[in-house]
Amino acid sequence: MTDAANTPLDNENDQPQLSLNTAAARNLATTTKTKPQMQGISSRWLLKMLPWIQVVGGAYRVNRRFTYTVGDGRVTFTNVGADIRVIPQELCELPLLRGFADEEILSALADRFVQQEFAAGDVIIQAGQSANQVILIAHGKVNVIGPGKYDDEVVLGVLADGDHFGDQAVVQSEDTWDVTLQAVTRCIVLSLPEEAFRQLVSQSESLQTQVDQYRASLSKPQSAEGEALIDLSAGHQSETPLPGTFVDYEVAPREYELSLAQTVLRVNSRVSDLYNEPMNQTEQQLRLTIETLREQQEHELINNRDFGLLHNADLKQRIFTRSGPPTPDDLDELISIVWKEPSFFLAHPRAIAAFGRECNRLGLYPNTVPMGNSSIPAWRGIPIFPSNKIPISKTRTSSFMLMRVGEANQGVIGLHKTGIPDEYQPSLSVRFMGINEKAIISYLVSAYYSTAVLVPDALGILEDVEVGR
């Protein structure tokens, strides 16, 4: 038998193998490898850009000046098929009924609302007509149109789902509407006639008291922001009697308690003992766990119903696009309501892309702002940071946020507490929990955080921007 008969063959070419193949060689070699990669890690610009305030006692109290007018609320509806009804308790979101607790009267009011439907372009109420109803927008978008300076009609505002109009008219005996409401899209509207409202007022002493208190609040002196007025004198002559005043505070200021995200990381002791070269298995498990925890933290800062920015923006600080997609005009309007040293925009990457398309269509080229190794798009010099935590709805709409940040600027701030036991990162702890009978090592990973909007005009939201057109 020849030597060729004992020579391994190259499987590909059926030729004698002349050297050690790579499959066998790898058994003696150390591969060059990466650390474990994770697609879910994002830039987390909100966590980077928010100034973080140390919360020593676990809660942060925001003291403000006393405000007579609580921000107008949005109303919620229910439907059975095509029939829509306002939830009686939700009528308390109207300033007129704020704090009213008589559920029987609220239910009677809800029953008196009449449902109407309008097509795009239809006039819901016309300027000059008798002001004799309360309007609730159950679905759709409505332009508020009024006279401009040069006798032309201009859009003064936009109403959408849950907004209301005319609640002051039914208690102040206004003669006619001074604006026109015109449907931009197909709209479903509920209206309460003034006659039905007055009839119920005459039958309910509690409702009459509520109306009287509301009228009294409208007559109290207050600033343009609704805060209790500070009397002072300016431009006066010498020896003029000066007014006396004091600054009133909110009686029950809001307190923000630190929220948390937690998980228990489990590592098999055999893995940590035998497979820690060249990378420490526990460290890599912990690194990816913390990355996921931080991603959830940013999600909560934006979406949590208690303290998240999308839910804590004042309703007067929420505006809508004029046409659907986010246009330069819409972002300018957003800047106009957060005009005191705005810090940055925050939007979903697809919403930013939609804004870019609108700029391309208009032949505009927004500038960029350098941020480390990146160039961030900007509008009017204000950077637009991307965040995939801002949701996109099933109808492919999202939101743009603009905020002023910093405690000294009365802006938006992040809240945390450093110096906690077993701290691994600021306000994040990793605690050893022991080893169980199956030789599994457990670590408790906890992150503490919250966010606060110090004054309402620190945060504005452009809502329902179309990202798919």
DSSP secondary structure of 2-68:
-GGGGSPEETTTTEE--S--HHHHGGGSPPP-PPPP-TT----HHHHHSPEEE-SSSEEEE--B-BS
What's the pLDDT at 386?
Answer: 95
Q: Where does the pLDDT of residue 13 fall: very low under 50, low under 70, confident under 90, or very high at 90 and above? A: low
What's the pLDDT at 69?
Answer: 42
What's the pLDDT at 232?
Answer: 75
Residue 356: count other Cβ atoms within 10 Å of its Cβ. Answer: 16
Percent of the chain with pLDDT over 70: 88
- Chain region(s) in the chain for CATH 2.60.120.10: 77-219
Query: What is the spatial distance between Cα 404 and Cα 414, in angstroms, rounded to a whole number?
Result: 12
Q: What is the mean pLDDT of residues 352-358?
A: 94
Integer CA distances (angstroms), 464 to 133, 160, 166, 310, 390, in order: 27, 10, 24, 12, 12
Q: What is the mean pLDDT of residues 9-27?
A: 66
pLDDT of 1 higher than 50: no
What's the pLDDT at 19?
Answer: 65
Q: Summarize the chain as % helix, strand, coil (round to 5).
A: 25, 30, 40
What's the pLDDT at 128?
Answer: 84
Q: Is the dihedral of CA 411, 415, 417, 422 positive or negative?
A: negative
Residue 187, beta-bridge partner list: 118
Contacts 24+ apart (CB under 8 A), 360-367: 362/327, 362/328, 364/328
Q: Where does the pLDDT of residue 355 fall: very low under 50, low under 70, confident under 90, or very high at 90 and above? A: very high
**363 or 245, which is more confident:** 363
- In the numeric block, the tokens 């009011």 are attached to 109
C-beta of residue 120 within 8 angstroms of C-beta of residue 167? no
What's the pLDDT at 292?
Answer: 94
Report DSSP letters for 391-443, one per residue. Answer: ---TTSEEEEEEE-B-TTTT-EEEEE--S-TTEEETTEEEEEEEE-TT-EEEE
Query: What is the spatial distance between Cα 377 and Cα 386, in angstroms, rounded to a whole number?
Result: 9
C-beta of residue 435 within 8 angstroms of C-beta of residue 282? no
Cis, bond preceding 16 (omega within 30 deg of 0): no
What's the pLDDT at 14?
Answer: 66
What's the pLDDT at 70?
Answer: 40
pTM for the model stands at: 0.72
Query: What is the spatial distance between Cα 62 and Cα 454, in angstroms, rounded to a whole number?
Result: 6
The encoded tokens of residue 41 equal: 């890690």
The H or E element spanning position 202 is: helix 194-203
Domain at 77-219: CATH architecture:
Sandwich (2.60)
pLDDT in tens, 65-83: 765 444 456 788 876 556 8
pLDDT of 333 higher than 60: yes
Query: What is the spatial distance between Cα 456 and Cα 312, in angstroms, rounded to a whole number?
Result: 9
Q: Where does the pLDDT of residue 93 fall: very low under 50, low under 70, confident under 90, or very high at 90 and above? A: confident
DSSP conformation class of 337: H
Q: Where does the pLDDT of residue 429 fall: very low under 50, low under 70, confident under 90, or very high at 90 and above? A: very high
